[in-house]
Amino acid sequence: MAFTINVNGADHTVDVDGDMPLLWVLRDELNIKGPKFGCGVSLCGACTVHLDGNAIRACVTPVSAVGDAQVTTIEAIGETEIGAKLQDAWLEEDVIQCGYCQAGQIMSAAALLANTPAPTDGGIDAAMAGNICRCATYQRIRKAIKRAAGLDTADTRG
Amino acid sequence: MPLDNAEQLPAAGLSRRGFLRAGAAAGGGLLVGLNFAATAAAQSAAATEGVLNIYVTVGTDGAITIVNKNPEIGQGIKTMLPMLIAEELDADWDRVTVVQADADGAKYGAQFAGGSFATPMNWMPMRQTGAAARAMLIAAAAQQWGVGAAECSTAPGKVVHAATGQELDYGALAVAAAALTAPDPATLTLKDPADFRIIGTSIPQVDTMRILTGQPIFGIDVEVPGMKYAVYEKCPVFGGTLVSADLDAAKAMPGVIDAFIVRGNNSTEGTLGGNVLEGLMDGVAIVAENWWYANRARSVLNAEWDTRGESASDAEHAAKAAEAFASGPGDVLRDDGDVDGAFEGAAKTIEAEYSYPFLSHAPLEPQNTTVAVHEDGSVEVWSPTQNPEPGRAGVALALGVDPSQITIHMIRNGGGFGRRLNNNFMTEAAVIAQRAGVPVKLVWNRQDDLRHDVYRPAGFHKFGAALDDQGNLVGFKDHFVSFGQDGRPHSSADLAPTTFPVEYVENVRYEQTLLPLNMPTGPMRAPGSNALAFVFQSFLDEVAAESGKDPLQFHLDVLGEPREVVMTPGFMGPQPGFNNARMADVLRIVAERAGWADRASLPQGTGLGIASYYCHLGYFAHVAKVTVDANGGWAVDKIWMVGDVGSQIINPTGAVNQCEGGCLDGLGQMTLGLTFENGQVVDSNFNTYALPRINKMPPVDIHFHITDNPPTGLGEPALPPVLPAVANAIFAASGRRVRSLPMSGASVASA
């Protein structure tokens, strides 16, 4: 059936099964490839997008559940102040190895900073626990979040 | 840009002798395309660019395009190799655009991501490539000015004639330079490393901004006109054959276009061995309008498989290993001195058994490939592969086309770790696309990936050591139970007869027993070493504890006086031998950085462990600091790493990033293990195959010890010592010896 969803400020109408996860509507119907497929069951966070500003896993969110909510993906997160700061910080800290998870990491980080402008290390651990980075760029993700938040980036845990 | 540990990197500076040695050793560029074939034929006065060689094009506007020849898997090669060219070209990096080469061995030579080979193989050839282009630009300027080329020099992006103060931008010289004959690489003068401006500086990956803005640059993002989406259902038991499947039910599902059976060769032969159809298993392909429709339709296939009674399991392997240990000697791999005599005459002997499980590579981007079979019979492949040429051979054989009819576009890999050295997904995609009659993107789901990997093999070791009354190691033995057939170990399941400490103990015996296995194995980041470092360096720490010596001193005593042991010629031809003085140096330095001498002052329950390992031409020693609480809960507080990978760290930020990654990859392997039952992998996702998350990443102190040796690779050698350093620290903190992986993340009690 037809669904009209708002993605990155634009309405899109798709004719798909209502059970189809938002991830596959974005990737295969709308050609919005930033959100990534990693696990399909909300275990890795590569598909993280925002629904009205909240970080959700698009791989387990049926398109029928999106309704009127505003979907924001990595492609548009740079248009927000927090998103732009995070992208700058990710570049400054040279976070990326393979880069596959990083869209999801930034979307989770953006949701974190929107709610908690100055997160602690424990707060970062909790907010980012759902996002796997197989290359293990976690040290730099931590620093980039702190940098974007205007915090001291030194690792004080060890 | 602020950089972890960047301040520890000395300014680029190296003796002339070291430079020349580097050139001589890395000059075995036999496998690298140093192709300066004439390229000027098509240049005209109206040209907007000058093609100086197959890697370098200079636009008339001064913009420079550099080709990266190797697959990018997250190791940063697409930035690093062009840095080598740009340095010797004397390019302005801000004006450089990097483009990715297709797979073309005739043009580029070897193109693969593996073995940390890229640096030693390309260090000189890529620099020579840049130097050749620079020489052509200088020659063009000299002609224009009517002066000798020797009077000219370059500054970033331009040729300079100091005597007259004239300058010409590379863009103004591009077309004229391209018309010149490329110089003989042997005549080129390369930069003195003291003059490097690009090599040795931290440069972010060239694709970083595209990744941060969600641009479609991974294999899974490929879209081609008319493309459909596919899945491939295979038997969960390796080598199983398809008996039946309800294709009609699948075809009746929404969005499904077609469903059909594919017959494979069902070989479980692993990566880099066996025939090129390796891994093409019987299966059912489903093609749909959207990947999710294709994947959902698998649930109605009701596929029935003939699994030939396969019932192997972890428990069975462990039982067979125990039998092998009990029944005595295996096949002798090495027998030096008088081992039995050394043990009989020893003041003390130590025995211990170690084991480790099968592991999956689990790159975060699931396996995928897009294939279009064109009307003229040519085949176009877009694949995130680490190793395109075996894929080409597999596709050619499977489709019955000539390899020359196949174009392989190497697309960025969402992680590799060795998994994509095997291209079974590429062959599957090609077969499905040919049968479907439309371009197809095949994407595996996570269960496919974990259950159809080419696995890091499990292994079992029974060690013995003999000490004299001074606590010196006088005898050493290992009975290794691994997997193989007809006396030949499976891929990455071997124990090299040169494995340390074989040359450093007078009496040594290595034996091997090979068990049958019906699952494919293959290289995983630091293959062999990722397991052998854990068992050998942990057991040596046990022996050190029994020797009464400080573990660091014990290691240094085993290494002994400086000498170089000649290694077996490998893939790249003769290689420098294992130099024990280089290893002793990194051990001493890491101990100093970690405060090893003061470790007695650490609180109760906190301990330091030390370990070292040599692989992929790199020397690494690590110290781990671990705290174990009263309930056995353990946490890694910090890791110190010191590496000697030669005279030059090419891109420091990338180098440190690789070491940080290797650190957590190693830590993850302490607690990761696949479960294998009834002939199949049980794990299907990250719930049970629990990759480490952000809270497990400890602070890491990384230092590169710069030495007068040729630069070597960093993707792998930082990983292996992590495991034994942590295990040895757990022992220091708690008295618990970790001999069997995986251990529980929650408690050392399971060790």
Contacts of A36 in chain B (CB under 8 A): 218, 220, 364-365, 414
Per-domain residue ranges for chain B? 1-7+525-751, 32-212, 221-308+372-451
Dihedral sign of CA atoms B1, B4, B5, B10 in order: negative
Contacts of B397 (CB under 8 A, 6+ apart): B276, B277
pLDDT at residue number B498: 86
Touching B: A residues 36-75, CB under 8 Å: 36-41, 43-44, 46, 73-75
For the B32-212 domain, the top CATH level (class) is alpha beta
Mean residue pLDDT across chain B: 90
Mean residue pLDDT across chain A: 97
Contacts of B216 in chain A (CB under 8 A): 31, 33-34
pLDDT above 90: residue B669: yes
Put simply, whether A132 touches B (Cβ < 8 Å) is yes
pLDDT above 70: residue B591: yes
- DSSP one-letter code for A29: I
CB contact under 8 A, A97 and B661: yes
Mean pLDDT of B649-660: 98
Give, in order, the Cα–Cα distances in Å from B411 to each of B73, B275, B388, B511: 9, 25, 10, 43
CB contact under 8 A, A17 and B255: yes
pLDDT above 50: residue B31: no
Please give the CATH number for the structural domain made up of A2-73.
3.10.20.30
pLDDT above 50: residue B18: no
Q: Nearest CA of chain A to the CA of B248: how many Å?
A: 20
Q: Nearest CA of chain A to the CA of B687: how many Å?
A: 7
- pLDDT tens-place string over residues A66-114: 999 999 999 999 999 999 999 999 999 999 999 999 999 999 999 999 9
Interface test with A, best of B292, B653, B684 (most A CBs within 10 A): B292
* Distance of alpha carbon B376 from alpha carbon B362, whole angstroms: 37
**Angle between helices B424-436 and B388-399 in degrees, nearest 10:** 40
* Element at B474 (helix H, strand E): strand B473-485
pLDDT above 60: residue B35: no
* Distance of alpha carbon B367 from alpha carbon B454, whole angstroms: 12
* Distance of alpha carbon B169 from alpha carbon B172, whole angstroms: 5
CATH of B1-7+525-751, one of 1.20.1260.10, 3.30.365.10, 3.30.1950.10, 3.40.50.720: 3.30.365.10
Q: Nearest CA of chain B to the CA of A34: how many Å?
A: 4
pLDDT at residue number B379: 98
In chain A, the residue whose alpha carbon lies closest to the alpha carbon of B653 is A94
In chain B, the residue whose alpha carbon lies closest to the alpha carbon of A16 is B255
In chain A, the residue whose alpha carbon lies closest to the alpha carbon of B667 is A136
Residue pointed to by tokens 């995130």: B384
pLDDT at residue number B269: 56
Contacts of B76 in chain A (CB under 8 A): 97
Interface test with B, best of A135, A142, A157 (most B CBs within 10 A): A135
In chain A, the residue whose alpha carbon lies closest to the alpha carbon of B203 is A94
- Helix, coil or strand: residue B588: helix
In chain A, the residue whose alpha carbon lies closest to the alpha carbon of B663 is A136
Touching A: B residues 628-667, CB under 8 Å: 637-638, 653-654, 657-658, 660-661, 663-665
Q: Classify domain B221-308+372-451 at the CATH topology level.
A: Aldehyde Oxidoreductase; domain 4 (3.30.365)
Model confidence band, residue B570 (pLDDT cutoffs 50, 70, 90): low
Q: How many CB pairs under 8 A join A and B?
A: 196
Structure tokens at B392: 């080409």
Give, in order, the Cα–Cα distances in Å from B249 to each of B214, B244, B296: 37, 12, 12
How many whole angstroms from its chain centre is CA B526?
A: 6
Mean pLDDT of B152-163: 98
pLDDT at residue number B745: 78
Model confidence band, residue B37 (pLDDT cutoffs 50, 70, 90): very low
Structure tokens at B389: 């040429």
Model confidence band, residue B280 (pLDDT cutoffs 50, 70, 90): confident
- pLDDT tens-place string over residues B503-534: 899 999 999 999 999 888 999 999 999 999 99
Residue pointed to by tokens 């393979």: A98
- pLDDT tens-place string over residues B111-136: 999 888 889 889 999 999 999 999 99
pLDDT above 60: residue B9: no
* Element at B700 (helix H, strand E): strand B700-704
| Identity of the residue in A34, A90, A129 whose CB atom sits nearest the CB atom of B214 | A34
CB contact under 8 A, B660 and A133: no
* Distance of alpha carbon B680 from alpha carbon B670, whole angstroms: 22
**Angle between helices B118-145 and B16-26 in degrees, nearest 10:** 110
Highest mean pLDDT among B5-19, B414-428, B485-499: B414-428
- pLDDT tens-place string over residues A103-133: 999 999 999 999 999 999 999 999 999 999 9
Contacts of A82 (CB under 8 A, 6+ apart): A110, A113, A114, A148
- pLDDT tens-place string over residues B686-698: 999 999 999 999 9
| Identity of the residue in A29, A124, A157 whose CB atom sits nearest the CB atom of B699 | A157
Per-domain residue ranges for chain A? 2-73, 77-148
Q: Nearest CA of chain B to the CA of A134: how many Å?
A: 6
Q: Nearest CA of chain B to the CA of A99: how many Å?
A: 6
Put simply, whether A152 touches B (Cβ < 8 Å) is no
Burial (0-12, 13-18, 19+ Cβ within 10 Å), B494: buried
Nearest to B222 by CA among A28, A46, A42: A28
CB contact under 8 A, B414 and A39: no
Residue pointed to by tokens 């004229």: B176
Structure tokens at B718: 């930082």
Q: Please give the full DSSP string across B203-261, using - where no structure is assigned.
A: ---TTHHHHHTT-S-BGGG---TT-EEEEEEE-SBTT-EEEE--HHHHHTSTTEEEEEE
In chain B, the residue whose alpha carbon lies closest to the alpha carbon of A23 is B292
pLDDT at residue number B170: 98
Structure tokens at B565: 């042991």
* Distance of alpha carbon B122 from alpha carbon B114, whole angstroms: 13
Looking at residue B273, its amino acid is G
Structure tokens at B211: 């990744």
Put simply, whether B444 touches A (Cβ < 8 Å) is no
| Higher-scoring residue by pLDDT: B363, B397 | B363
- pLDDT tens-place string over residues B230-261: 999 999 998 889 999 999 999 999 999 999 99
Homologous superfamily of domain range A77-148:
[2Fe-2S]-binding domain (1.10.150.120)
CB contact under 8 A, A38 and B698: no
Question: Are residues B710 and B646 in contact, defined by beta-carbon separation less than 8 angstroms?
Answer: yes
In chain A, the residue whose alpha carbon lies closest to the alpha carbon of B415 is A98
CB contact under 8 A, A97 and B699: no
Q: Do domains B1-7+525-751 and B221-308+372-451 have the same CATH topology?
A: yes
Nearest to B291 by CA among B216, B347, B210, B370: B370
By mean pLDDT, which of B144-153, B273-282, B330-339 is the weakest? Answer: B273-282
Give the angle subtended at the CA of B98 by the CAs of B361 and B416, to the nearest 5°. Answer: 5
pLDDT at residue number B575: 61
Touching A: B residues 181-240, CB under 8 Å: 202, 204-205, 207-209, 211-216, 218, 220-221, 223, 229
pLDDT at residue number B750: 54
